[in-house]
Amino acid sequence: MIGAENISASWGIAFLVGAGAVAEFIAKACSSPQTVQINAGKRAPSLMKWVNVGVGEAIIIVAVAAMVDKKNRQPILLGAAMELAISYGEYVHAKRAGLANPEESTEVY
């Protein structure tokens, strides 16, 4: 459990690394939420497929890091979970907004 006696500078660094890793894995696998929104009409299914691939990759890699670094396991997992929820929510919102507003598209089909 998180207690003040367990929090140190390395805890904060590990938390940020966990959060940053999830964001990087998702970004590496797909375009940005902005791209999803402005091109949702044609590419939302493909873009979201790659968001999901990035999520899977992030979960595997963060789990390995958490298994290896027992001292910082909790902040690694907490940071990763928080960023996973935020990033996934951004992509879901972008998809819905793009499908609801097709006039925002930058592509002509």
Give the pLDDT of the chain (109 residues) as one tens digit per residue: 556 566 566 888 888 888 888 888 888 767 788 888 888 888 888 888 988 998 998 899 899 989 988 888 999 999 999 999 999 999 999 999 999 998 888 877 6
The answer to the question of residue 32 being in a domain is no
**pLDDT score, position 98:** 92
The answer to the question of residue 14 being in a domain is no
The answer to the question of residue 1 being in a domain is no
The answer to the question of residue 24 being in a domain is no
The answer to the question of residue 87 being in a domain is yes
Separation of CA 86 from chain center: 7
What's the whole-model pTM score? 0.78
The answer to the question of residue 30 being in a domain is no
Token reading at 74? 């909790």
The answer to the question of residue 83 being in a domain is yes
Token reading at 49? 């497929």
**pLDDT score, position 3:** 62
Q: Which domain holds residue 66?
A: 38-102
* Residue whose entry in the numeric block shows the structure tokens 């929510």: 89
Token reading at 16? 């940020």
Q: What is the Cβ-side half-sphere exposure of residue 76, based on CA atoms within 13 angstroms?
A: 16
DSSP per-residue codes, 56-101? HHHHHHHHHHHHH-STTHHHHHHHHHHHHHHHHHHHHHHHHHHHH-
User: How far apart are alpha carbons 33 and 72 in whole angstroms?
Assistant: 30
**pLDDT score, position 43:** 85
Structural domains of the chain, count: 1
The answer to the question of residue 2 being in a domain is no
E strand or H helix at 21: helix 9-29
